[in-house]
Structure 1
Amino acid sequence: MKDTAQLQIFKDFDGYSPKYHFFKNSLFGQIKDSIPWDELAGCLPAENTGPGAPRWFDAKGMFGMMFLKAYLNVSDRQLIERFNTDYSLQMFCGKLLAEDKQIRDYTLMTGIRAYIEDHCEWEQVQSVLLNHWKKDVNNSHVLLMDATCYESYIRFPTDVKLLWESCEWVFEKQLFRLCKILKTKRPRSKYREQKIKQLVYFRKRRNTHKETLRRRKSLVYLLEKGIEQLQQIMDMFRGECMRPEDFACLRTIKKILVQQTFLLTHKPSELKDRIVSLHKPYVRPIVRGKENKPVEFGMKVHMLQVDGLSFIDKMSFRNFNECKRLKISVVKHKTVFKGTTQLGADRIYATNENRRYCTRNSIFTCFPKKGPKNHSKAEKILSSEISKQRATVTEGIFGTHKDHYGLRKIKVRGEKREKLMVLFATMAANAVKIAKKRNREEPAPREKAA
């Protein structure tokens, strides 16, 4: 038995391998076939062949890694570790690693996001994918729309936390560090005493309104003194030992000081563009009015859907009224698909202006009827079906994105990068849907032979 030769069932010939066959027949292979890689690669500039180490991925590989990041819902490090050992991921990105090679740069995904952010707009990527997928859409005349909020990964913001984080950054990360490097005496401050009081405040389970107000006033005064002392040292040594990121953070802290000083004497509703995070200063509170979560901290997205295919109308970290987007959404739908004859939306969209626009353009809606004339029996059935699709499919896709495509809490930093994460999560969910739909509609091998 030891000398018995093993018969290979599958043999490699002309570049063909069993692994490639298994990959092409898997869901990964079907997803890859549903994506227009050449058109996507055209969104990025030609590959740079200048000095320096060669890139691991070309333009197609970069987009492939972004799709995999959303589809697998893993961290950057876990994605690189799996890519090193999984041939299907390597085939998906068009980069087969040699047996003795491994990607050891775990910051690779950060570089890919930065490169796409600098050289490509999310609207351009979405347009390429929609124009490729629109031939797979059946009921393109039905447009559904709704809005949601994809939250950023930040601690729950309070005024005391924000002020204390700013004080820590000014004193410990900058002022004390610069004095040590430049060998100068630390300026006199009450930082140590305030630190003890802050620890006492944090240890309490509940703090009264008076205690919180007293703490805020003390921290505002401390922060003002700290910024003044830091500015004096920076002027004295002309900003030595400080990075560009430090200057940007200092500008944010100065805005926080102005806002928190304003809030000591005014109502929170009177303050616009309120900063809630020191490290993500672009995040704003989004008042949603939901029963279980009235305020969310992240990006508001107005999503459109056609036959289960989702695409983004608007993304913004500042709150906006989605009912104002109905006309623009209909026009955007018309540029990709033929036109809208049926529209499904929430009751917030049913303004008189939107009703007149839909009537003028012969668009049937699921809005409640106004006036003495009721819907006919056929209109009631159609309105009920559109409302059902909007309430189940459209709102259900938001939960799918958050639970399975990494949008429960967006951890990347940067306004544009967070938008890219939402875009690729939405497009990855679309690619899975298109791949499964094509697989169902593809005839069986016997039917092909017949």
Structure 2
Amino acid sequence: MYRKEEQPSPAPENFELPFEGKLSPSNRWVIMAELIPWDDFEEEYAKLFSAEKGAPAKPFRMALGILIIKEKLGTSDRETIEQIRENPYLQYFIGLNCYQQEPPVEASMLVHFRKRIDVDLVNKINKEIVKKEKEKLDKEIKKKDLPQEKGKKLKNRGKLILDETCAPADIKYPTDLGILNQARIETERIIDNLYKALRGKLRKKPRISRHIARKEYLKVAKKGKVSYQERRKAIEKQLKYVKNNLGHIEDLNQAGASLKNLSKRQQNLLETIKKVYKQQRVMWENKTQSVPQRIVSLTQPHIRPIVRGKAGKPIEFGAKLSVSCVDNYVFLDRISWENLNESCHLKEQVEKYREMFGYYPESVHVDKIYRTRENRNWCKERGIRISGPKLGRPPKNVSEEEKKQARSDESFRNAIEGKFGQAKSSFSLNLVMTKLPETSETSIAITFLVVNLSRLLRQFLSLYLWLFINIKTDELFNHNYINENYIYSKFIERKIINWQGNYRLLAA
């Protein structure tokens, strides 16, 4: 059940503190709380719950706020809750009215928050925040376009950067021998659990050569260099052990030990192991190293190997992301767990740009893989310039303007690479710790939301410093205060309070 709170969102000056103080309106968490339109998306979040049945759910601001805090601070779920319990600014950010020493939720609730707030909802919030800020910046430009006659299309405006990256998952580096050994161990545990239900009914327990199988695995795994033939023989032996264990599980199931007695985790593992055995058998018989939808982790079977072809990391294991960048704001357009060609997403990403801003971009800046003939013709029909040289044989004589344009396009693309570096070095995109596919997608989307919030926060702080430098001294002394320093601080404080949320207008 979801119950909407009647009281409005707390103001920082009304937040009750036990030590008789007030929250500073220039604090980063107070500023970010004003940037996010909590109320606009609360109704969409409330649709996930029943209006009458069940215990009241936690508010949307608390659920999303905790996930943003976790990503911003780079802490674990437990540490995030401890930080919120100790910090009044974080409690204000998640919508509490007064400071409390008890934790607002249990750490395990963050998993449910990631399931409820899906990637589509996070992307909507991200786009809405950036759209509002960009509308303020482009207000004068749009006024010039409004007097146009109805039915006429708006001119193309702005630059769009497209690129793709990979968000590696937290898994052990997979090898065929290691995956089969793990599958063998899990099937042995399943056999032990099934036999407990039939103890006394069967004469003897199915024979499992677990000690011999472990020795044969370690004999190869501990070697520094393993030949191709040794590896093939070791994989063949592990395949036989896994096949025998799966046969024993089927026999126990027919003897009366229902698979429903297993835990949900073991039931999912058993289905995954059956798929792994089929894939590894096909690769061993055909002497290949690839198979469609190859499973590289038993606990996270949705993860696929993503071929990157870069130095140091030729292959990464995680989600493949299609990302767009506009005015140094990044948007997550698509998440795929399969290794797909990203060039087929260009049309979709450009249309999303038009849906968001109302016009096509002036130019699209992409790398070589996007510059297909189909994409070039599609962009040409809509008056969009696509970066990079033309297809075909390069011309013998290239003008200085074309060379300058090419250098400018390549340097302009560095912006999105910098955003990838920020998301992977400062935040959690370099190693996604969540295990489920839906929670991983939400975690990735939250990362790009926090990247944009961090940019907006830096802009506000830069304008806050601008006030201290560029405010005219005559304007300050028009106020009837006694002390000069007191006059200056009070004037700045009043400016911040009155114009908070509209900080872009401060520089005007």
Alignment of 1:37-436 (within 5 A): 37-45=38-46, 55=57, 57-95=58-96, 99-102=100-103, 105-116=106-117, 121-137=118-134, 141-171=158-188, 173-183=189-199, 184=202, 185-235=204-254, 236-268=256-288, 271-337=291-357, 338-370=359-391, 372=395, 377-378=400-401, 380-390=403-413, 392-436=414-458
1:86/1:351 CA distance change after superposition, 3 Å = same
CA 1:73 to 1:15, structure 2 compared with 1: closer, same or farther past 3 Å?
Answer: closer
Give, as a single letter, the amino acid of the residue that structure 2 aligns with 1:250: L
- For the residue of structure 2 that corresponds to 1:188, the secondary structure is coil
Deviation at 1:15, TM superposition (A): 5.6
Q: Distance in 1 between matches of 2:107 and 2:461?
A: 35
Match of 1:31 in 2: 32
Identity of aligned residues (%): 25
Q: Structure 1: 5+ residue runs without aligned partners?
A: 1-11
Distance in 2 (CA, whole Å) between partners of 1:187 and 1:378 is 78
Q: 2:194 is aligned with what amino acid?
A: L
Paired residues of 1:36 and 1:129 also in contact (CA < 8 A): no
- 1:264-310 CA-to-partner distances (Å, cap 9, x unmatched) read 12243551111010000001111111122111111110110000010
Amino acid in structure 2 at the alignment position of 1:127: K
Whether the 8 Å CA contact 1:286–1:296 is kept in 2: the answer is yes
Q: What is the distance in 2 between the residues matched to 1:13 and 1:258?
A: 63
Q: CA deviation at 1:411?
A: 1.1
Structure 1 letter corresponding to 2:424: K
The separation in 1 between residues aligned to 2:347 and 2:372, in whole angstroms, is 12
TM-superposed deviation, 1:49: 7.3
Distance 1:360 1:373, change over 3 A: farther
Aligned to 2:45, the other structure's residue is in SS state coil
> Using the alignment, how far apart are the partners of 1:267 and 1:103 within structure 2?
55
Equivalent residue for 1:4? none
- Distance apart, 1:415 and its partner CA: 1.0
* Residues 317-326 or 255-264, more deviating: 317-326
Deviation string 1:382-435 (CA, Å, 9 cap, x unpaired) is 442232121x21011111111111121111111111111110000111111123
Aligned AA for 2:158? H
Q: 1:376 to 1:39 in 2, by over 3 A?
A: farther
Shift of 1:98: 5.3
Judged with a 3 Å threshold, the aligned counterparts in structure 2 of structure 1 residues 225 and 234 are, in CA distance, closer, same or farther, namely same
Deviation at 1:148, TM superposition (A): 0.5
Q: CA offsets, 1:158-182, max 9 Å, x none? A: 00110011110010x2111332354
TM-score by length of 1: 0.88
Give the CA deviation at 1:234: 2.3
Q: Which runs of 5+ in 2 are unaligned?
A: 1-11, 139-156, 479-508
Residues 208 and 373 of structure 1: is their aligned pair in 2 closer, same or farther, counting only changes over 3 Å? closer
2:503 equivalent in structure 1:
none
Q: Could you tell me how far apart the structure 1 residues matched to 2:35 and 2:14 are?
A: 25
TM-score (ref. length: structure 2): 0.78
The structure-2 alpha-carbon separation of the partners of 1:48 and 1:324, relative to structure 1 and needing over 3 Å to count, comes to closer
The alignment's C-alpha RMSD in Å is 2.7
State the distance in 2 between where 1:14 and 1:411 align: 37
Query: Distance between the aligned counterparts of 1:376 and 1:35, measured in 2?
Result: 48
Measured after TM superposition, the shift of residue 257 of structure 1 is 0.6
Could you give the per-residue CA deviations for residues 346-391 of structure 1, whole angstroms, max 9, x where no partner exists?
122222222222222222232114564966555543442232121x
Structure showing greater radius of gyration is 2
- Contact in 2 for aligned 1:153/1:411 (Cα 8 Å): yes
Distance 2:307 2:280 in 1: 20
Q: Is the 8 A contact 2:259 2:267 kept in 1?
A: no
Contact 2:122 2:446 in 1 (8 A): no
Q: Secondary structure of 2:316's partner?
A: strand
Which residue type is aligned with residue 312 of structure 2?
N
1:60 counterpart SS class: helix
Relative CO higher for 1 or 2, CA cutoff 8 Å, sep ≥ 6? 1
Would the alpha carbon gap of residues 100 and 308 (structure 1) be closer, same or farther in structure 2, given more than 3 Å must change? closer
Is 1:142–1:341's contact at 8 Å kept on the other side of the alignment?
A: yes
How many residue pairs match? The answer is 431
Residue 112 (structure 1) shift: 1.8
Per-residue CA deviation, residues 94-129 of structure 1 (Å, 9 max, x unaligned), is 13565452357332212222333xxxx422331243
CA distance in 1 between counterparts of 2:243 and 2:87 reads 54
Measure, in 2, the Cα distance between the counterparts of 1:62 and 1:68.
10
Q: CA deviation at 1:436?
A: 2.4
